[in-house]
Structure formats: structure tokens, C-alpha cells
Structure 1
Amino acid sequence: MIGKALGPWLEHIPHPLRPWLKWGALALLVLYGGYVLLGNLFLNTPLGPWAANRKPEKFQIEWGPGVTWWPGRVTVWDVRMKGHVGRTVWAVQADKARGRLALLPLLHKEVRVPEVVADGVSGDVDQTSQRRPPPVPRPGGWVLNFQRIHTDTIRRGRFAKLVLEGQGSADVGFYKQLRGGPLEMLPSQAHFPKARLSLDKHELLRDAAIDARFAIARHTRAQAPGVRKLLMTDAELSLDGTTAGLHVVAQPGGKVAFSTVPAKGKAHVRLGFARGSMKPGSQLRWHMPVTGVDATGRPREQALDLQLDVDRDMHVVAKAPARESGPLALDADLRIRGTQVPLTDFRSLVPRSSGHVVGRWQFPSLKWLGSAFIQAPWLSLEGAGVVDADVQVADGKVAAGSRVGVPDVQAVAVVMGNRIQGRARADGRLDAGEGNEVLPRLDLVMEEFNIAAADAPNRPYVTGRNLRLDVQTLSGVDRAQLRRPGGIKEVGELLKAHLTFQDAQVPDLRAYNRYLPKTHMRFDGGSGLLSGDLNLDTSGDIGQGWLRVKGNGTRMSVAGMAVRGNLDVNTKLRRADLGKRQFNLDGSTVNLADISFTEPGGESRSGWWARIELDRARLAWGKPVGVNGTVQIAMKDVGFLLSMFSRQREYPKWVYKLVDAGQARVHGNVQWQDDTLTLDRMVASNQRFDLKARLRLKDKTRKGSLFARWGVLSMAVEVDSGRRDFHMMHAEKWYDSQPALIR
């Protein structure tokens, strides 16, 4: 058959060569037939996938039917490839692929594919938490050189939740040497005449014409690991299309939900990127309609416009013209020095930025606001809220004149172990200091508030209205220094704060028993009003100020006696020792009015009053508090003082004539420490009598001595718990011989 086919040709060939030519043609035919047979067996039996998938954990390829009619040319259908590189998992599918393989380069360990044409292409890329370590570079790796991969039928591409759909075309080429060798992305391009872009099933862009060009210079992993590959990348993007609208919905709890809705916005993008920097002439215009619901429930419509222009610098403009009670207000104009794009830390853009940001926005959390304006660790703004801002930025720093307003936020301040919280209105601003120093200030008003112990925040004991807290920076804030252990003490008086409130309700005065020596002094009932005017420091501790408690119909237990009446305590505080939380109480007063008291034996009196002034006194803040100092007391009579030592019927009858002898002036020393109350060198007198006393109440014990003189009559009594010894002879001498209780 071969002879007949070659007969006309063989007539022109010398006779001795004809047999060789026949056998040569036969050999070629056998070889061709063998290639067709073996090549198609390779493609259509498990042998092909077995040979291609030698490392399935890194790369896998599968295909359906395949055919090859010529060496180096292959056509396969239903192609599926996937791989895992670092934390990236990718997959590509194609209905059909046909390509050409250069055979001679295989002798040099190079898989050179001049061209691959694919139909019906789609791809997926995801990030996973499982990282596959890169191979250790070794010499001698095979080279994959795909010079052109072309398709006119891209259907879909997905990167995580970002999906691109549409009929597109692409030309891609790459060079990669295995065993950790270099990688290069050859000049490539993609085109979509009418694409749709969505994020998590929410449409962002439709009817978009997209053109992209990109290339990555040849490099090894060591030269450009991870995202640093962008330093080897050149890219251009051209995009025009219709954008979706943004719908803003405020949810319970202050959170804001975003969704896209069909709309007729506009996008125009011309961006160029060269080895880590934006190309001059790049620009972006993005117009997006914004819809939402205002605070009254009425729908509002407006628009958000984003703009980017690149020359020597990058100029960013964002505007959402304010509408009355609209869901968004924004006017931002920032110029970023240079064109370099940070690849790992976008915060590095901040020092390069100057301009202004004015706007209103709902934030799901406002914790950042307190630290952004005032570095006060004892003050925090919690929960969600709307922020009205007018921020001026100079070289990445918020400049003087900037302000931030929050019409409604949950504020918490912890002051000396007390937790103050309530809904507040906050206004922050930056004032100009000396030498271009910026001094933050925050003014806060709690329309309603409550106070609870910091260790029992769910049991408030004070409720009030209109609390004001003004916090002012005195010098520049070195935030890094503040974050170090003990940093606040190192910088000293960095802040000052002024806290004021009037006539807050104290429903149950028993809440203050945690600060009293409960055995011998405690509240048994009654309500009152609390007012305060305090200056605080950087740590939230009191520098100076006053606290005033007024109680009407107050019931107390004092030294075993039931006391009832009106109480007015005005405590003046001036810090003496911050480390020990000690304060001077000089000038503090306690007024008792319309007092009735009942002795343990049942004897009672009413209509008594006293005015107490602390001349020199020191307070140690704790639970209970400690007081040590001298007092001056004006009282209606000495009846209450006598009752602290003994019951009325146990005294000689003439002693209680002292009670009827009129008002008395008393001075002496007072010490109140833990559960011990001590009175020493107490001297009471008027023109008719003299009285001296010392008494210590500790736990359930009562110990002390008292001397009284009325005219020529005198007596002394020694008290030791339940025992009382009266001294009628040489009473004053005996009293003076007793040791002082306060050294």
C-alpha cells in the first residue's frame, strides 16, 4: 500500500535508494502511530493524572477526554486544576484547553509552552489559616515557561467573597523554576467589556468595562516574599461602570448595618502602579448613592463621592453632602506626600497626610475616642454612638482647632474606688499650647448618672442629673511613655479634670457604712443629697475639692445610742500624700440639727444640735476611711458627750445639771482608724462648768475616763467595757493621771 502511494514519487528516485525510502516511510508511520496510540492512552487513562499529580498537596490537575494528533500538541476537555501556596488556595476550571509544547527544551529540563488556548474559564482564590511552608531552594529544578495562555471566554473569577462575573478575555504568561527558583509574570492583560463585581453577594459594580495590564519582574522568594512581590509589579487598571448604592441601617445597640442596593452611580478609574508606587496621572472617581433612615424613622437620600488624583503626591477627596438628619455626612480632603503605597502597614500613611476631615458617622464602639483625645485611664466612653467631627490634620497629627462631638454616649469614670456612669454628651477639642503644642480637652455632661462602688458596679447608691466633667491636658502627651508600667507617675501632672454635680439622690445612706467603723458608728436608715466639686489628676485621684452630704430624718447608731435627726457633712479635701491616698480635711464641717438620741437604758432626749469643725485633720482614703485631727465643737449642751460614757441614772444627780447649764464649746483630738474611734483631750466648758473626757471605742469594748466640775462639785468616772468606777475624791487629780489615748 505504501509502495503504491509512493509509486509516482519513487520513479524519480534512483533505484538503489528506493528500498531505503520505503523502509524510512514505514518507520515514520510506525512511530507516528505509536505516538498517537501512546499519547492518547496517556491522556485518557489514569497514567496521565498519576504522572502529573506527583505532589497532590501542592498541585493537582484533572481532565476529561483528551486527544493528541501531533507531537507537542494536545487538546483536553473538562480541565480542573488546584494548588496550595503559602496560605493561598487556588482552583481553575476550563471547559476545553488546547496547547503546544516545545519538545527540544525538554532535553534541558524546561517545559516550554508557546501557547495555550482555553475556553469557558473560571477561577477561585481563598485564604486559609493553614500555611504551607515554601520549599528549600535547590539547584537543578525544572523550568515552567508558559509564554502565552489565552482565553476569550472567561466566565467568572472569585477572590474570597469578591466575585467578578462576565464574558472576558485574557492573555497571561509566566516563568517559574521549581525547587524554589525564580518566578516571573510576563506582560499580561485582561479585558471585560461588560462585567459585574460583587462582595459577599452584594453588588458593587455592573455593566463595567474593565481593562487590566500587569507584569511581575523575575525574582526569587527571598528577594520578594509575600506581599513584597508588589515591589516587583507593574500594573494598569482602566474601569468604567455603574455602581450600586449604599444603604445604611442603624440597628439596636448602636451598630450600623451596610448593604448595597441597585442604583445608578458612576465609576471611572484610571490607575497605574509601578513597583510599589502609584503612577502620576492616576485618577479615580466613584459616585455612590446613599440611602438610610434618620432618627425620626424617615427615609433620607444623598450621595457619596470619592476622588483620587495622583501627581507628585496623592490627593484624596471624599464628600457626602450633609442632609438634615441624613445617615451620613462627610467632607474629607487629604493630601498624602509622595506616591508610595505602604504594603504591610497602612498606618504609615498617617505621618504623610495633611488636610481635614469633617463629618458625622455612627460608630459601633467609641472606646477609641477617649484615648484619641484624652489619655485618662480612669475615663472611658463605651458603646455605640454618633460622632460629629471637624478634624484638621498636619503631617499626620491632629492639629489645634480640631473638635469632636458625641451627642449621646455611655461614659464611665472611676474616681477613688467609685464608678460613675451615665448617658453623656461629650465635646472634645484641641487647643493650641506653647511652641505649637496641641493640648486636648474633653468636656462631658451626664444628663443622668449613678455612682456605685467599683467592686460592686451593679449596686449604685447615688443617682443624679447634670454631672459635668471637664478634662484638660496641661502638657504634651507622650502616649508611648504612658503605656509603660508606671508611666503615668513618671510624667506627673499631665492632666487636670474638674468634676461637679449638685444634689444627687442618695436613697439609702446605709451605703456609706462601708467607710465607717461599723461597730460604733453606722447609718441605720434615711436618705440624703450628695453634691461635689472635685479637681482630679492624671490618675483620676482627687487633688482638692469638696463633697457634701445632706440627710434629713437620718437614723444612726453612735457609741451604742440610737440617733435621729438632720445631718450636713461638708468635707473639704486637699491631697497630702498621693501614694498613701491621704488628704487634709482642714476646714471640713459637720452640722447636726434637730437631733434626738436614746441611751441603751431607754432614756432619750430631743432637740439637740452640734456644729463641728475640723481644725487640722488628715484623712486616709480606704474602707473604712481613717481620720486623725483636732476638732472644735459648738453644741447645745454636753448631754450627748455624757451619754457616751454612762447612762444618765448612773451619774450623781448634780452631773446632769451640766446639761441644763447651756451651750458648750468643745475642743479635742479625734482619731478614727479601722473599727476604732478615739476621742482624747476633749475639753468642754462654759462659764458654769468644766468637763474633760477621753474615750476609745474598739470592736465591742469601750474604755476611757471623764471628769466633770460644777461649782465646788466634781467627779470622775472610769469606763472599761461594761464596768464603771466613779471617783468622787480628788477627781481631777485622778483624771489627769490617766494616760492619753492618742500619742
Structure 2
Amino acid sequence: MVRIAWIEKSLGPWRDRIPPGARPWLKRGALALLLAYGAYLVLGNLFLNTPLGPWTANRKPEKFQIDWGPGMTWWPGRVTVWDVKMKGQVGRTVWAVQAGKASGRVALLPLLHKEVRVPDVEARDVTGDVEQVKVRRPPPEARAGGWVLNFQRIHSDSIRGGRFAQLSLEGEGSAEVGLYKQLRGGALELTPSWARFAKARLLYGKSELLRDGVLDARFAIARHTRSQAPGIRKLLMTDADLTLDGRTAGLNVVADPAGKIDVSTVPAKGTARVRLGFARGSFKPGSQVRWHMPMTGTDSLGRARAQSLDLQLDVDRDTMRVKAQSPAQQNGSVMLDADLRIRGTDIPLQDFKRLLPRSSGHVVARWQVPSLGWLAKLFADAPWLSLEGAGIVDADVRVVDGKVAAGSRVGVPEVQAVALVMGNRIQGRARAEGRLDVSKDDELLPKLDLVMEDFNIAAERAPGSPYVVGRNLRLNVETLSGLERAQVRRPGGLKHVTETLKARLTFDDAQVPDLRAYNYYLPQAHMRFDGGSGLVSGDLSLDTSGNIGQGRVHVRGNGARMHMAGMALHGNVDIDTRLRSADLVRHDFNLDGSRINFTDISFTEPGGESRSGWWARIELDRARLDWDKPVTVNGTAQVVMKDVGFLLSMFSRQREYPKWIFKLIDSGQARAHGNVQWHDDTLVLDRMVASNQRYEVMAGLRLRNGSRKGSLFANWGVLSMAVEVNNGQRDFHMLHARKWYDSQPALLR
């Protein structure tokens, strides 16, 4: 009765105007409205403040979840809740939004048409998080009849910050967003929206990038379905404008001696000014970026660094220009001057490498890099050459239409270089410079010049035991032009053509501390070094695989101790080897023209007799070398020697010869020629003929393992003799010596 009295009182002055018959119905209607309102208050607030509300909203928690604390509703469609937490996943993107308080209104009539229309939402103390996860949630198949979510205005004047993966934004923000989305794979639209931040602070992880920033962003996404713009292609439906001003942090860059670089941010007085406009995949003309960052730290040598880095972007109607500058310090350790122009203003969202063909300009830089392995591959496709470790790179690169252009160069003041050549490992401290030249037909030809200031050479099988130590080894590598490759393939060219580049390796007077290192390549039972040191020089041409095409190796040993054909020698040896490849695959070489000189030689026969002052000059007028183990040499030799004493000693001790043989030895120098074969541990001299105007000596000898077998004929005037040697046995033929010698079979066929 109290409520009815209140209704009657509320009618006030209208009471007398209401017909008496209508008054009971008005009272009943007012009471019904009052009861309905009371029921709404009870049920609505129960819905908000019991598990029923979250249960109803979270029917698909794998896609969307919402939770809140206390809630209140005083009018149908008008709701206020506190401690709001929402999260969901779309594809690989997981998002979450938190708000201290949210108030909004839901239009009721559109619900009859399966539309949740929210004309207005006001939120306070808002934060958000977005991150990428490995597991992708596949989108639902598009179906008709999905509910429409239409948030016409979501507004907040108290946004506290947000995070995207490692990037986070803090500050005092406000925003207004409008969103339209039809469920079951329907259309999405972000209506014109805006966001502003004051006193903004931008961080990457715990590193500060920007502080005291002022940010103003406006953005919108045109209505579209997922099939029309999947994934990142949504940016092709996006319009945005960004204005940003603030103080940037500085960079602290520390490089250790191994080249490892540690980068961190430090508070500094840098500046940032950004004016970017983006229209559906393209930057708007007039867009600008100015970013200034101070740089401190130390380089790999421990030198202090105090620089700055300036980044710029300018966009006009049909060009984007990107500049980056970091002036050189007094010690010149780091420097950058890059200026690139990019045709067009559109951004290839799905493949940023497509910007390269549109880019032209230059990059001049000097910086420390942790690995230099890429340099050899960039300028020389030579798998046998590698650059190792960290180092400083000094580059001047020209770019035309995305390609490195002629005149570009990249230099390295110091690097560890390794070259593998025919079973030898050449390594040393080097400086390198790569550059691009142009051929006569405008073909780009990469070239790499390398100088090893200190180097050593070791066998690949024993890299820790170098047998050559030297300075100033030079390696020049360059790509063959198309014309040169065509000439090589002509008849009469190389038999097996695989090279696309040519290289030349040169060094002079490198030290050989112990000549015994060369015994690996010699038939040691019959020919070897027993000691001594020397010098070696080389001038070699190499192909793509690191094989020797042609060249020269010159070894000089002074005071060398040698063993040859069972005799100990001491003296000087000079070996000038001329190499010319005969078969790239089989590693066969032409040694024609190679020379071996022996001077001031002392030798001792097996019986103990010794001689000194002997010399010989040997020239291989025709010879072939098979480099692969076992090493094989076949050829003919021309010899000029002081006398034939050494040749005679190879067959027998001098005291066992007839006495007239000593007159033959004393009759002066002789010229000799014959065939030579050396295979593995076997050395053969065949059809050797030594003579002068007074005498003639012919011989053939095979030295194999520990055996010695051969025959010799000597003639001086009317005197002649022959001797047969078979290991330790000797048989002298004094009668019919020439006939007997001529009857002996040739040792080589």
C-alpha cells in the first residue's frame, strides 16, 4: 500500500485530469514497471556478481575469455564493472587487456537482429599485452549468420601502457577506438580511431629506447573479410598517421678482442622526431623520421668510443630516401655514411627483400664484425679460401637497382686467412680487400686481394707442424669474365674446365727451417734430405678448387745434407720447379723446363772415399708429374756436371774400378742425358749417356726399396769396361764390354 500511495502522490497535479476508470490501470501499469525494474536490478546485478555472468560470456575460452570483479547496473543496457580482464587468441597472436573500471551501454533493440551494438564504453586505468606464440590457432571457416559485434566508441583517458612482445610503452595515454566484427569469419572494420600519449617511455626488454615522448596516432582499417586481407595484408586496408617527439636513449657498444659485440642502452640526450603517414601499403608524401642516438663504449682494442648515430627517412611523391650517419672518431674505429634512394613509396609487406631492386645509393662504413667468413664468399667463390675470426671492416659499397655496383670495395685491415692448396694448409695474419671491376662487355667481376704479412705452410695431415714460415704472401683472386671462360673452352684449352675464377699466389724467400719436411714427397730410401735449412719462393696460378694450374716453386738450400743412391751429400741445392697443369682432375703436371742445381757438393761413397767441390746442373726438358700419393715423375733430363765421378760412384767404389777410370774422371766436365722415373719408393735412371771429347759413359740403374740393380759402360780412347750391379754384388766385364752392355734390357719402356 505504501508503494501505491507513492504512485498516487507522484501523479500529483495530473490526478484530476485522469478519468476515474483509468486510474486503476495506471496504478497497475506503474506497479508492473516498478516490479520489472526491481526484477532487472536484482537479476542484472546477480548476473554481474555471480559466476553466471563469466560462465555465459566464456562459452569458448580457447578463443575469448573475460572476467571482472564487482559489477553494477542501474538501467537496462547500462553496465559498470571493475577489475576487467579480457584475453584471446587469433592465429599466433595472443592478446590481453586489463581495465580498472569500465562503463558502457548496450543497445537492446539490435539484439533482436543478432547485433551487439555498444554505442559507448568508457574505461579507466587500461593496460594491454600482445605477443606471438609458436602454436597457431586455425581460424574458423566462414559461415553465414554470425552475430555482429559493433563497438561504436571505446574511450579512455587513463591508459597506462601496453606491451608487444619485448617492446613496451609506458606513460599517460588516452584513446578512442571503434570496432566492427561479424563472427563466424565475417567482416572486420576498425573505424577512424586515435591514441595519444604524454610522458611516454618506450622500452625493449629492460632497455630504454625513448623517454619524455609525446605520441599522437590516428588509424583506421577498412571493412574486409579474412580472405580479402589475411595476416599482414591487413595493412593494405589500413590508414594511419603517427607523430612522435621525445628524448632517445644512447647506445653503449662494447667489442671484446674476439669480436663479440655487446649492445646496451644508456640514458642520454638523443632526440626523436617522427611524422609518418601510411595509406594502405604506402608511405604518404611528406613523411619524415629524424632519430639521433649518442653512442659510447669501447672497440676490440679497448679504445674508448664517443659518437652519435643519426637516422633519417624522407618520403616524397615517388621516392623514399634513407640516410644513416655516424661520423668517424679521431682513432677512426667506427664510421657510417649510408644514403639510399628507393623508387616508389609502397612497402612490400610480405617480402621486404623486394625493396632491394628499387634501391640505389652508397654505404661507406667502418665497423667491427664478429665474423669475417662472408667476405671471401662475397668476392671469391673459392671453397679452399676462408677468412676466420672477428675484425674491422672498411667498406665503400655502391648500389644500383639493388645490386652491388662497380667501384665497390670492402677492406679488412687484419684477419686470419687460411688457404688449402694441393694438400697444403697456408695460414697467416692478413689484410684483405675485395672490389668489383667491370669487364669490356660491362660484366661485373669480383676481385679479392689478400696479403699475409706473416704466414706458415703445413701439410693438411699435420696442420700443427709448419715447414715453411714467411712474410708478405700475396693472393689475388678474380672471377673470369664470360669471354675468358669461352676462350678456355675452345679446342686446345684445358681438358677439364671447372673454374669460374683464377687466382695467383706469390711469396718470396720464405724460410724452410728443416728441409727434411720435403721427404714426404721423395723416395726416401734413395733420395732424401738429412738436414739443413733453406728458402722457398712460389708463384702459382690456382683454379676454383684450389688446384695448381701453372706456376713455379723455387727451393734453395745452403749447406744441405742429403742422401742419394746410398751416398751422403753435403752442399748447396737449388730446385726451380716449373709447373703447368696437364689434367685438372688427375693432378698431372708438365714439368718441362724445371731445373735442379747442385753446387759445392761433398759426397762420401759407401766404402768411405770422399770427394768435394763437385757440381751438376740438371734440366728436365720433358717431364710429367702425378702429384697424388704416391708421387710419380716421368721424363728426360739434360745434365751438365763437373765430372762423372758421382755417376761412377753410384755403381761401385772408385778403388774397385780399373786405374784408368781415374783419368776419365779427371778429364773435365761432361754433358749427359737420359730418362728418369720416380714412382713411390722406386727411382730409375735409364739410357743415361755422359760424354765429352775424351770419353763416354752409359748407364742404367733401378733403386727399389733396399735393392740396387743396373749396368754401366765406360770408354776412354781404346779402353773400355762394363760393370753390373745387383744389390751388393758387382760383376766387371773387361772384354767385349760394349757388346755386353748393349745386350742388357732397357729399364724403362
Compute the TM-score of the two structures, normalised by the length of structure 1.
0.91
Q: Assess, with a 3 A threshold, how the Cα gap between structure 1 residues 72 and 279 changes in structure 2: closer, same or farther.
A: same
Q: Deviation at 1:566?
A: 2.3
2:251 maps to what in 1? 246
Distance 1:253 1:477 in 2: 43
Q: How does 1:540-551 map to 2 (within 5 A)?
A: 540-551=546-557
Q: Assess, with a 3 A threshold, how the Cα gap between structure 1 residues 175 and 437 changes in structure 2: closer, same or farther.
A: same
Distance 2:108 2:233 in 1: 35
Q: Assess, with a 3 A threshold, how the Cα gap between structure 1 residues 728 and 73 changes in structure 2: closer, same or farther.
A: farther
RMSD between aligned residues? 3.0
Within the candidate set 82, 100, 103, 1:77 is matched to: 82
Between Structure 1 and Structure 2, how many residues are aligned? 734
Within the candidate set 581, 598, 623, 1:592 is matched to: 598
Task: Say if 1:520 and 1:677, in contact at 8 Å, map to a contact too.
Answer: yes
2:66 maps to what in 1? 61
Q: Deviation at 1:410?
A: 2.1
Q: How does 1:303-702 map to 2 (within 5 A)?
A: 303-311=308-316, 312-475=318-481, 494-600=500-606, 604-646=610-652, 658-702=664-708
SS in 2 for 1:254: coil
Distance 2:423 2:434 in 1: 26
Indicate whether 1:170 and 2:181 are aligned: no
User: Which segment drifts farther, 682-691 or 155-164?
Assistant: 682-691
Distance 1:571 1:397 in 2: 43
Distance 1:667 1:477 in 2: 43
Indicate whether 1:5 and 2:10 are aligned: no
Q: Assess, with a 3 A threshold, how the Cα gap between structure 1 residues 14 and 576 changes in structure 2: closer, same or farther.
A: same
1:232 maps to what in 2? 237
Task: Say if 2:254 and 2:299, in contact at 8 Å, map to a contact too.
Answer: no
Task: Say if 2:257 and 2:300, in contact at 8 Å, map to a contact too.
Answer: no
Task: Say if 1:215 and 1:235, in contact at 8 Å, map to a contact too.
Answer: yes
Q: Deviation at 1:653?
A: 6.3
Indicate whether 1:99 and 2:104 are aligned: yes
2:488 maps to what in 1? none
Q: Deviation at 1:494?
A: 4.2
Task: Say if 1:294 and 1:326, in contact at 8 Å, map to a contact too.
Answer: no
Which string of whole-angstrom CA distances, capped at 9 and with x for unpartnered residues, describes residues 65-87 of structure 1?
Answer: 22233333322222222333333
Q: Deviation at 1:489?
A: 11
Distance 1:380 1:225 in 2: 44
Distance 1:661 1:622 in 2: 42
Q: Deviation at 1:349?
A: 1.8
Indicate whether 1:731 and 2:732 are aligned: no
2:191 maps to what in 1? 186
One-letter amino acid matched to 1:446 = M
Q: Assess, with a 3 A threshold, how the Cα gap between structure 1 residues 697 and 22 changes in structure 2: closer, same or farther.
A: farther
Indicate whether 1:274 and 2:279 are aligned: yes
One-letter amino acid matched to 1:205 = L
Indicate whether 1:154 and 2:166 are aligned: no
Q: Assess, with a 3 A threshold, how the Cα gap between structure 1 residues 611 and 248 changes in structure 2: closer, same or farther.
A: same
Distance 1:513 1:275 in 2: 74
1:213 maps to what in 2? 218
Which string of whole-angstrom CA distances, capped at 9 and with x for unpartnered residues, describes residues 222-268 of structure 1?
Answer: 33222222222211111111122233322221233322222222211
Task: Say if 1:514 and 1:624, in contact at 8 Å, map to a contact too.
Answer: no
Distance 2:495 2:99 in 1: 67
Distance 1:317 1:373 in 2: 26
Distance 2:97 2:531 in 1: 78
Q: Deviation at 1:140?
A: 3.5
Which string of whole-angstrom CA distances, capped at 9 and with x for unpartnered residues, describes residues 376-396 of structure 1?
Answer: 333333322222222222222
Q: Deviation at 1:717?
A: 4.0
Q: Assess, with a 3 A threshold, how the Cα gap between structure 1 residues 72 and 698 changes in structure 2: closer, same or farther.
A: farther
Q: How does 1:698-709 map to 2 (within 5 A)?
A: 698-709=704-715
Distance 1:477 1:376 in 2: 20
Task: Say if 1:684 and 1:691, in contact at 8 Å, map to a contact too.
Answer: yes
Distance 2:531 2:686 in 1: 29
Task: Say if 1:516 and 1:623, in contact at 8 Å, map to a contact too.
Answer: no
SS in 2 for 1:368: helix
2:92 maps to what in 1? 87
Distance 2:451 2:650 in 1: 46
1:485 maps to what in 2? none
Compute the TM-score of the two structures, normalised by the length of structure 2.
0.90
Distance 2:116 2:152 in 1: 10
Q: Deviation at 1:310?
A: 0.7
Distance 2:205 2:697 in 1: 87
One-letter amino acid matched to 2:187 = P
Distance 2:591 2:302 in 1: 54
Identity %: 73
Distance 2:567 2:60 in 1: 91
Task: Say if 1:300 and 1:326, in contact at 8 Å, map to a contact too.
Answer: no
Structure 1 unaligned blocks of 5 or more: 479-487
SS in 1 for 2:38: helix
User: Which segment drifts farther, 33-42 or 8-17?
Assistant: 8-17
Q: Deviation at 1:409?
A: 1.9
Distance 2:703 2:658 in 1: 24
SS in 1 for 2:519: helix
Task: Say if 1:630 and 1:670, in contact at 8 Å, map to a contact too.
Answer: yes
Which string of whole-angstrom CA distances, capped at 9 and with x for unpartnered residues, describes residues 469-507 of structure 1?
Answer: 2233442699xxxxxxxxx99986643333221111222
1:484 maps to what in 2? none
One-letter amino acid matched to 1:156 = G
Q: Deviation at 1:273?
A: 0.9
User: Which segment drifts farther, 376-385 or 639-648?
Assistant: 639-648
Distance 2:4 2:496 in 1: 105
SS in 2 for 1:137: coil
Distance 2:563 2:130 in 1: 76
Q: Deviation at 1:117?
A: 2.0
1:482 maps to what in 2? none
SS in 1 for 2:258: helix
Task: Say if 2:256 and 2:300, in contact at 8 Å, map to a contact too.
Answer: no
Q: Deviation at 1:118?
A: 1.8
Q: Deviation at 1:521?
A: 3.0
Distance 2:731 2:496 in 1: 58
1:483 maps to what in 2? none
Q: Assess, with a 3 A threshold, how the Cα gap between structure 1 residues 560 and 491 changes in structure 2: closer, same or farther.
A: closer
One-letter amino acid matched to 1:398 = V
Task: Say if 2:496 and 2:585, in contact at 8 Å, map to a contact too.
Answer: no
Task: Say if 1:305 and 1:320, in contact at 8 Å, map to a contact too.
Answer: yes
SS in 2 for 1:434: coil
